[in-house]
């Protein structure tokens, strides 16, 4: 399997979401690259993550099958201010590739004007007001074409398994759920 995923993080990223995304995807055999704004990223609850690469060192032509954005209020604010990440994500979407974001993560995509008005999505209630022009739902996970969104940290497993299903198929996703004793 040669599936590649980018997970951008910044100071204040919600670590439960970031770690769940990276852990489950790597269990599925997905090549995950964590890109951070600093060499050490301090997450929302103080956990420190050493990114694989700095955001500003990413090659804009580097090909990923998906970009998956974890939430965290301050993490997403910091990501949405990163002009280089914006260029990378816009190029990714222009190529018709898959995006996913959980919790406050969809706010980064709306800040970059990357969510179609008719898109169905969900997010953490604190950023729900940003999606007045979209079809917002209160579901834990929403799949709409090449966009998957998740409600928050409590939905991190469901969200990540939906992403794995999209990238690797239902059989792989079910295997990860079984291997981790996750009850579907």
DSSP class of 184: -
| Alpha-carbon gap, residue 130 to 25, rounded angstroms | 29
- Cα–Cα distances (Å) from 39 to 8, 50, 54, 73, 87, in that order, read 13, 6, 7, 20, 21
Which position among 103, 129, 134, 168 bears the catalytic label? 103
| Alpha-carbon gap, residue 27 to 36, rounded angstroms | 21
Which position among 124, 129, 134, 168 bears the catalytic label? 124
| Alpha-carbon gap, residue 89 to 38, rounded angstroms | 19
Contacts of 111 by beta carbon, 8 Å cutoff, 6+ apart? 80, 130
Active site residue 103: yes
CB-based contact 22:8 (threshold 8 Å): no
Q: Just list the catalytic residues.
A: 103, 124
């Amino acid at each position: 399997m040669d599936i590649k995923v980018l997970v951008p993080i910044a100071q204040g990223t919600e670590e439960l979401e970031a770690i769940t995304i990276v852990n489950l995807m790597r269990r599925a055999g997905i090549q995950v690259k964590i890109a951070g704004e600093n060499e050490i990223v301090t997450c929302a609850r103080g956990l420190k993550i050493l990114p694989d690469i700095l955001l500003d060192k990413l090659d804009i032509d580097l090909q990923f099958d998906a970009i998956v954005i974890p939430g965290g209020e301050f993490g997403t604010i910091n990501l949405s201010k990163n002009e280089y990440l914006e260029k990378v994500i816009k190029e990714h979407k222009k190529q018709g590739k898959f995006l996913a974001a959980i919790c406050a993560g969809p706010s980064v995509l709306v800040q970059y004007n990357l969510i179609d008005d008719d898109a169905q999505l969900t997010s953490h209630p604190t950023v729900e007001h940003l999606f007045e022009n979209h079809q917002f739902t209160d579901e834990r996970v929403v799949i709409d074409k090449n966009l998957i969104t998740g409600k928050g940290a409590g939905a991190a497993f469901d969200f990540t398994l939906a992403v794995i299903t999209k990238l690797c198929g239902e059989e792989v996703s079910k295997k990860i759920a079984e291997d981790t004793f996750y009850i579907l």
